[in-house]
Amino acid sequence: MQVLTKRYPKNCLLTVMDRYSAEVHNMEQVVMIPSLLRDVQLSGHGGQAQAEAPDLYTYFTMLKAICVDVEHGLLPREEWQAKVAGSEAEEAKNGTAETEEVEDESASGELELEAQFHLHFSSLHHILMHLTKKAQEVTRKYQEMTGQVW
In DSSP notation, 31-94 reads -S-GGGGTT-PPB-GGGPBPTTPPPHHHHHHHHHHHHHHHHH-PPPHHHHHHHHHHHHHHHHHT
* Structure-model confidence comparison of residues 14 and 50, the more confident one: 14
Q: Which one, of 76, 70, 40, 43, lies nearest residue 58 by Cα?
A: 40
β-partners of residue 43 are 49
Give the lowest-confidence range in 29-33, 58-62, 116-120, 128-132: 116-120
d(CA 119, CA 39): 35
What is the reported pLDDT for 113? 84
